[in-house]
Amino acid sequence: MDHVAESLNKSAVARAIIGLADSLDLNVVAEGIEHEEQRDSLVDLGCRLGQGFHFARPMDAERASAFLASAKTDSAVPLG
């Protein structure tokens, strides 16, 4: 999701993917969110789930299990 907040082309591609998924009643998970600006741009485009360093750094299985249990979600984080 590099530069999705800055690039019109990348925003158009993300918007198209999100729109297609919505029309097919599918969930979209944005992968690789590293900054708040990326998250904000994706929320503005209609994306509701994401994952990446912005939410959590890589972790071992024990920490991942505790993280997921505390979040009570799957591995994708609600964005908005």
Outline where the chain has alpha helix (H). 8-23, 36-44, 61-71
Residue 2 lies in a domain: no
- Residue 4: is its pLDDT beyond 70? no
**What is the pLDDT averaged over residues 33-45?**
92
Residue 29 lies in a domain: yes
Closest to 26 in 3D by CA, of 49, 5, 9: 49
β-strands 49-51, 77-78 pairing:
antiparallel
Task: Name the packing angle between helices 36-44 and 8-23 (round to 10°).
Answer: 50
The tens digit of pLDDT for each residue in 14-32 reads 999 999 999 999 999 999 9
Q: Please give the positions annotated as active site.
A: 31
Domain that holds residue 58: 8-78
Residue 1 lies in a domain: no
**What is the pLDDT averaged over residues 32-44?**
92
Task: Count how many domains the chain has.
Answer: 1
- Count CB-CB contacts under 10 A for residue 43: 15
